[in-house]
Chains A and B, each alone.
Chain A
Amino acid sequence: MEALGQISTLHYLVLAAALFVLGVIGVLTRRNVVIILMSIELILNAVNLNLLAFSRLYGLHGQVFSIFVITDAAAEAAVGLGIIIAFFRNKETVNVDEVDLMKW
């Protein structure tokens, strides 16, 4: 119990910030659409971690918000994968470099 007690809110926030940065880097550098979607999920999970860490201090609001964020992430993934499948059927690729029909 002693060891657990030493994990403060700050630790959670730093972990969340790291996840957020990893997610942003993933979105900006990866070329596979599915992996980009996964990186976006990583950002949303950083948000959840933040909300949960803060709700240790402030009460339930943050936990309720995080449940909504989880639901939103699920909806986004469902629609996102649907769009990716529609795209893949017409183009036979999930590489963002080949998403080049429209430019400038």
Chain B
Amino acid sequence: MISNFSQFFTLADYAMVLPIILLTLFALGILLIDLMVPAEWKWSNAVTALIGIAFAAGAVCKAQQNLRLMESPFVLSGSMIFDRITIYFFYLFLAGAAVAILTSVHYLEVEHEHRGEYYSLMLFSVVGMMCMAAGYDIVLIFIGLELMAISTYVLVGFLRRDRRSNEAALKYLLLGAFSSGIFAYGLSLFYGLSGTTNLGGIGQALARHMEANQGHPSPVAVLALLTTATGLLFKIAAVPFHQWAPDAYEGAPTSITGFMSVAVKAAGWAMLLRVLVWGLYPLRSVYVPLLIFVSIATMTAANFAALTQSNLKRLLAYSSIAHVGYMLLGLIALASVQYPAPAFFDGLKGILIYLLVYTFMNLGAFAVITSLRNKDVIGDELDDIAGLFQRAPVAAVMMLAFLLSLAGIPPLAGFYGKYFIFLSLIESQHYILAALGVAYSVFGLYYYLKIANAMFMRPALDQERLPISFGMKTALGISALLTVFIGVYPEPFIRAVNWSLGIVHSGAVAELMR
């Protein structure tokens, strides 16, 4: 296949990728401005980063309006796809990063590690995430993944003097780089099988391959799928590739733990959906049984491991692994039916809504844990949150809302994520998996209520009122408001997700998804 050099990039292409360009410029700008900022003014870097995110959000808004004018969703010679799902993920990444930045300012001051690179790296990792969500070429997807991952390795190890942070960064680096290598090996085999680096081209070549072999893929195709899937499942921390997650989550600065558990995970999901659904859809008869095994293993291992945790960050790390298990159920439902069936859209809708509500409830929960960090208290053990209701009643009530939402109790946001996933499972006739999913979500209530019990029923070790900074209050307010609001009045959010799936119905992409 000869590369098409005659197609030059047009101004319209740059208008679509403007959010990515703006974020890169702001990230570089922070690095420069930081040199001139005196030590007590380091919080201004957070303001710069938030302004950058606001500009990027404006550019995404503009790109959203441009969608209607575009003849095809592909920009930059087909290496990026701008459909509505891309726009949806862009907003999600920006929201996650903005709330995480709000929780960081006071925390970094307490840790005496307030440096501009922190915010710069966060913006760079959002740039990587955007490349992962919009990438339609395996080269771009891989580069986006690595940009995000390398920025996150540094952020995890940002507390240089803290041994746990060093250790977490080391483990995350070794396992992350290992999984990226395996992922790249799989991608190189797909390039060899199809002769193109374009996801759509790979999909078409695989469809021909499956047809020629009567639905039985060749061993090389299976090897390529296994290695690629290993890399993808590693990034979303599914069992048996989850061992890095609890360690990295526990050792990382708490504000980064929140960021990793939502934005980085959402980016992993965006990449997983792009590769498995858009690219490797013809191989779904091979990967669905694999995913069924992985999702059951994930739900089981994570829920049982979470039971015995006494460290809050570790407990929520296992809870976030369990949530990946539930989201994988949605992927099983959508991949086990033929493309235009209702279960296909409900599965995708379930995953997208789940990622949205999960972003706010999990960031909120980590924000409360972040605020427990004070002068002499590390504040990530279950004992540290004891008696929170006496020390900071509003934060304790918000935390209760986040925990109940994580457990999926109906009037809160978390319920709707699970609702659509289980609906799609029943539509695709996976009754046993649906029952298992419901059983494990009830099971999960136990460890969430263990935290609630400590907050409300146990006396505080330290009776002093908990100081909560302005940025933290804003972050908590946004997360709590959305967690409750999506739960009570989900219509606009479900409509937003339906909108983002709209283009899947239209001819152009329907052709790609066969």
A47 touches B185 (CB 8 A): yes
| Interface residue? B270 (CB, 8 A) | no
Q: A76-B146, A79-B153, A102-B251 are in contact. Are A58 and B181 (CB under 8 A)?
A: no
Beta-carbon contacts under 8 Å, A25-64 to B: 27, 33, 36-37, 40, 43-44, 46-47, 50-51, 53-54, 57-62, 64
CA distance A20 to B182 in the complex (A): 8
Contact B142 A72 (CB under 8 A): yes
A58 to chain B, nearest CB (A): 4
Known: A43-B182, A83-B157. A50 touches B192 (CB 8 A): yes
User: Does A90 contact B166, Cβ atoms closer than 8 Å?
Assistant: yes
Given A20-B185, A44-B184, A76-B177, A83:B247 Cβ within 8 A: no
The reply to whether A99 and B171 form a contact with Cβ atoms under 8 Å apart is yes
Of B157, B184, B192, the contact of A86 (CB 8 Å cutoff)? B157
User: B191 contacts which chain A residues (CB < 8 A)?
Assistant: 50-51, 54, 58, 61-62, 65
Taking CB atoms, residues of chain B closer than 8 Å to A13 are 192
Residues facing A in B148-201 (CB within 8 A) are 150, 153-154, 157, 160-161, 163-164, 166-171, 173-174, 177-178, 180-182, 184-185, 187-189, 191-192, 195-197
Residues of A within 8 A of B181 (CB): 23, 40, 43-44, 47
CA distance A75 to B161 in the complex (A): 23
B494 at the interface (CB under 8 A from A): no
Q: Are B163 and A101 in contact (CB under 8 A)?
A: yes
Contacts of B174 in A (CB 8 A): 27, 33, 36-37, 40, 80, 96
**Which chain B residues border A75 with CB–CB below 8 Å?**
146, 150
B305: which A residues are within 8 A, CB to CB? 104
In the complex with contacts A61-B1, A68-B142, A27-B178 CB distance below 8 A = yes
Chain A interface residue count, CB cutoff 8 Å, equals 44
CA distance A65 to B185 in the complex (A): 12
- Interface contact A99-B167, CB-CB below 8 Å: yes
* Docked-complex contact A61 and B196, CB < 8 angstroms: yes
Q: Are B164 and A102 closer than 8 Å at their CB atoms?
A: yes
Report yes or no: B173 in contact with A59, Cβ–Cβ below 8 A. Answer: no
What secondary structure prevails in chain B residues at the interface with A? Answer: helix
Shortest Cβ distance from residue B227 to the other chain A in the assembled complex, whole angstroms: 9
- Interface pair A86/B143, CB less than 8 Å apart: no
B100 at the interface (CB under 8 A from A): no
Question: Are A79 and B167 also in contact (CB < 8 A) when A47-B184, A102-B251 are?
Answer: no
Instruction: Chain B residues near A102: list those with CB within 8 A.
Output: 164, 167-168, 246-247, 250-251, 314
Tell me the complex Cα distance, A78–B52, Å.
27
Indicate whether B2 reaches chain A with its CB closer than 8 angstroms. Answer: yes
Are B143 and A83 in touch, CB under 8 angstroms? Answer: no
A56 to chain B minimum Cβ distance, whole angstroms, is: 11
List B contacts of A37 (CB < 8 A). 174, 177
B-side contacts of A11, CB under 8 Å: none
In the complex, A22 has a CB within 8 A of chain B:
no
Min Cβ gap A19→B in Å is 10
In B1-48, which residues have CB < 8 Å from any A CB?
A: 1-3
Interface residues of B in 451-479 (CB under 8 A from A): none
**Chain A contacts for B397, CB-based, 8 A:** none
Once the chains are docked, how many angstroms separate the CA of A84 from the CA of B177?
14
Q: Report the nearest B residue to A69, measured CB to CB.
A: B184
B138 proximal to A (CB < 8 A)? yes
Q: B170 contacts which chain A residues (CB < 8 A)?
A: 33, 83-84, 87, 99
Chain B residue numbers with a CB within 8 Å of A23 are 181
Given contacts A58-B1, A102-B314, 9 further A-B contacts (CB under 8 A): A20-B185, A43-B178, A43-B181, A54-B195, A59-B3, A61-B196, A65-B139, A75-B150, A99-B170
Binding site for A on B (CB under 8 A): 1-3, 138-139, 142-143, 146, 150, 153-154, 157, 160-161, 163-164, 166-171, 173-174, 177-178, 180-182, 184-185, 187-189, 191-192, 195-197, 246-247, 250-251, 305, 308, 314
A-B complex: 4 closest residue pairs judged by Cβ atoms: A43-B181, A50-B188, A54-B192, A58-B195
Can you list 15 contacts pairing A with B, beta carbon distance less than 8 Å? A36-B174, A40-B181, A44-B181, A50-B189, A58-B1, A58-B191, A59-B3, A64-B139, A65-B139, A68-B139, A75-B146, A76-B173, A76-B177, A80-B174, A102-B247
